[in-house]
Structure 1
Amino acid sequence: MFNWIKPIFFLLVTSAFLSGCAKDSANDKPLPQRPLLVIPEGFPEVAFPEDNPFTKASYDLGKKLFFDPILSRDSSISCGSCHQPSLAFSDRIALTSGVDDAPGKRNVPSLTNIGYHPYFTREGGVPTLEMHVLVPIQEHNEFDFNIVLIADRLKKSEQYVAMAQSAYEREPDAFVITRALANFQRTLISGNSAYDRYAFQGIPNALNAAELRGMNLFFSDELACSSCHSGFNFTNYTFENNGLYEDYIDEGRMRLTGLETDRARFKVPSLRNVELTAPYMFDGSLQTLQDVVEHYNSGGYAHANKNEEVKPLGLTNTEKNDLVAFLGSLTDYEFLENPNHYPN
């Protein structure tokens, strides 16, 4: 069961940096801090589980854990090492290495609006955000660790013990770690891009001419981009093959289901802040948005499970550029610059 949470306006404690820099020159009053959890216009509310409601104490603990390399076996990488706030909680590497430079297997997805996803991983095999916390911890090519051993480390820290007691009234353990990290990640909501200002906030000049043309192409029946990249989050969360290859090394959703009809199908990603999350596709094989548009314009390679909407489009160079411009309009600079998303 889930509780639907109304926008909650908790404020961060002013950090030493901000208290020194965020002064109004006229009256010497501190500038107001940004809310931790805000639901943008046009967005539904975020569902928090009954055993993990949003609180500032849970948020603070989750944020501290997110940026702390204590979660990895050799304390060399953190969640924030791969999910960088300045890149919409993604990174710039095709396949990011884990501890001991273990080679990555898939491209790091953005965590933008992750709290709205109904399931997690590229094959959709993890039903909750709390459970998903275990995935990078246990994966040998990521943190290569054990959550019980992480809890033992945290129990040696007076600060972590105090924060766990404040948030969940118990010592650091698997319950606390998974809940706190999920709590923080559910606040990573992006909904103030130029497109949002046009579509949801009623600002008619929020998009320029090229972006408007690209938007009309994107939502057209001829291109059918929005048949998969639909809704406020630009994804329908289904599993599709887009003809990236004829033969795939990665089995995709078949890895979970064992069904041949799921071979090389991957969860449709959100396009929020997509211009910042290069390289693209599940393996990071396409370097730019121009490359992505060219791929779809070509119709992709033949594959038994390819979505029937992926077919040659015959776009002109102007139309390709307009599509890229529209995708750029999904960038939310307020989200990228939000100090709540960075380590204290």
Structure 2
Amino acid sequence: MLARLWRGPFLLAAVLAMAASGCDSSSPERPALVTVPVPQGFAPLPVPPQNPLYADRVALGERLFFDPVLSRDRTVSCGSCHLPELSFSDGRQRSVGVGGATGLRNAPSLLNVAYRKSLFWDGGALFLESQALVPLEDPHEMDLAPEAALERLREHPEYPVLFERAFDGDGPSVQTLTYALAAYQRTLVSAPVAFDRYRAGDTSALSPEARDGLALFQTHCSACHAGAQLTTDGFENNGTSVTDDDPGRERITFASGDRGTFRVPSLRAVARTAPYFHDGRFQTLEAVVAHYDEGGDGTPGQSPRVRPLRLSSGEKAALVAFLQTLDDRPAAVDRSPTR
């Protein structure tokens, strides 16, 4: 889900319809909601009332997420760029779509995506129910028109019944497709890691070196990577070179001051989601730390928060040791349809 924001009338109409109506979730016959555990310190999982986490809806979204039927040549799925074993990133500098097309950006982890205030590196989508249409249509990703995707689903031997069960008799539509995918993605929440245990009071959860790294992190990095989610969800210019092909958030806001700014990523799972930054330019955490230690590249509009740190080699190693403790994986979720 690398993200070129498509602004065509089909997407606009679909988004407006979803925002205005929502799927009917009032049926008394619905199964109970899926329970998603969250680490201590996380806010309750945000779930919009129009798209509850019903077990059959989540299961349908999971199947769709990993089904290449939603790509033009039936070779690429959402899961092709968001692998569970890599905390729902893909390990490539830039992801590969249909026909071997290379995307514009690095695919970020989808862990804890339910908590994000905006989606994609440039904030081009505001909620999960609309974002799925972007990679679906992007020629560098799945390259399939929504009408064609829905025709495939309606002609499929199993999907029409699965949609009707998940959506109170409603078959495949833009709304039910995007709601199912969003429901599944909301269940992708981190299992607790050493960082969470340390925050909860277990000082033995981190090694002495990692504790030193955490202290450095809190001094130098927490202005942008704050709280249990390790992000402010804001947008910053982190001092990397910017091209006209990808000016960052400027392509959404058309404001020159947003050139080169990108969404501050959560550092949850950062130990498992190399390469790093919006264009995947850095392969290792050591390279990322070196970039910030040097004060960035001095690009126009660089955030004043990015300035030379002048860390010693031991301090840089300690900072990396802390970041390596952020080895998040998805928490197990009970999707049984009990009431």
State the TM-score, normalized to the length of structure 1. 0.85
CA deviation after TM superposition for structure 1 residue 339, in Å? 8.4
Q: Which amino acid aligns with 1:174?
A: V
1:302 is the counterpart of 2:291: no
1:264 is the counterpart of 2:281: no
Tell me which residue corresponds to 1:38.
37
Query: Counterparts in 2 of 1:185-334, with a 5 A limit?
Result: 185-200=185-200, 202-220=201-219, 223=220, 225-245=221-241, 249-333=245-329
What is the alpha-carbon distance in structure 2 between the residues aligned to residue 287 and residue 280 of structure 1?
6
CA deviation after TM superposition for structure 1 residue 156, in Å? 1.7
What is the alpha-carbon distance in structure 2 between the residues aligned to residue 39 and residue 176 of structure 1?
26
- Higher mean C-alpha deviation, range 246-255 or range 82-91: 246-255
State the TM-score, normalized to the length of structure 2. 0.86
What is the alpha-carbon distance in structure 1 between the residues aligned to residue 324 and residue 111 of structure 2?
15
What is the alpha-carbon distance in structure 1 between the residues aligned to residue 309 and residue 128 of structure 2?
37
Identity %: 41
Q: Which has the higher contact order (CA 8 A, sep 6+)?
A: 2
CA deviation after TM superposition for structure 1 residue 158, in Å? 3.4
Q: Residue deviations 1:285-331, cap 9 Å, x none?
A: 11100000000000011123111011111111111111111111111
What is the alpha-carbon distance in structure 1 between the residues aligned to residue 36 and residue 32 of structure 2?
7
CA deviation after TM superposition for structure 1 residue 66, in Å? 0.5
CA deviation after TM superposition for structure 1 residue 42, in Å? 1.1
Go from structure 1 to structure 2 and tell me whether the alpha carbon gap of 1:246 and 1:87 turns closer, same or farther (over 3 Å shift): closer
Q: Which amino acid aligns with 1:279?
A: P
Secondary structure at the counterpart of residue 219 of structure 1: helix
Structure 1 unaligned regions, length at least 5 = 4-8, 12-34
Tell me which residue corresponds to 1:17.
none
What is the alpha-carbon distance in structure 2 between the residues aligned to residue 50 and residue 246 of structure 1?
39
Query: Counterparts in 2 of 1:147-158, with a 5 A limit?
Result: 147-158=146-157
Query: Counterparts in 2 of 1:38-187, with a 5 A limit?
Result: 38-169=37-168, 170-187=170-187
What is the alpha-carbon distance in structure 1 between the residues aligned to residue 328 and residue 334 of structure 2?
15
Secondary structure at the counterpart of residue 48 of structure 1: coil
Q: Is the 8 A contact 1:69 1:75 kept in 2?
A: yes
What is the alpha-carbon distance in structure 2 between the residues aligned to residue 249 and residue 151 of structure 1?
31
Over the residues paired in the alignment, what is the CA RMSD in angstroms?
2.2
What is the alpha-carbon distance in structure 1 between the residues aligned to residue 242 and residue 149 of structure 2?
42
Tell me which residue corresponds to 1:24.
none
Q: Is the 8 A contact 1:63 1:181 kept in 2?
A: yes
Q: Which amino acid aligns with 1:272?
A: R
Query: Counterparts in 2 of 1:17-36, with a 5 A limit?
Result: none
Q: Which runs of 4+ in 1 moved over 3 A?
A: 246-249, 338-341
Go from structure 1 to structure 2 and tell me whether the alpha carbon gap of 1:125 and 1:286 turns closer, same or farther (over 3 Å shift): same
Structure 2 unaligned regions, length at least 5 = 1-18, 26-30
Go from structure 1 to structure 2 and tell me whether the alpha carbon gap of 1:10 and 1:327 turns closer, same or farther (over 3 Å shift): farther
Tell me which residue corresponds to 2:12.
none
What is the alpha-carbon distance in structure 2 between the residues aligned to residue 301 and residue 42 of structure 1?
35
What is the alpha-carbon distance in structure 1 between the residues aligned to residue 249 and residue 77 of structure 2?
27
How many residue pairs get aligned? The number is: 307
Secondary structure at the counterpart of residue 117 of structure 2: coil
What is the alpha-carbon distance in structure 1 between the residues aligned to residue 59 and residue 327 of structure 2?
26
What is the alpha-carbon distance in structure 1 between the residues aligned to residue 204 and residue 122 of structure 2?
39
Secondary structure at the counterpart of residue 314 of structure 1: coil
Go from structure 1 to structure 2 and tell me whether the alpha carbon gap of 1:298 and 1:69 turns closer, same or farther (over 3 Å shift): same
Secondary structure at the counterpart of residue 226 of structure 1: coil
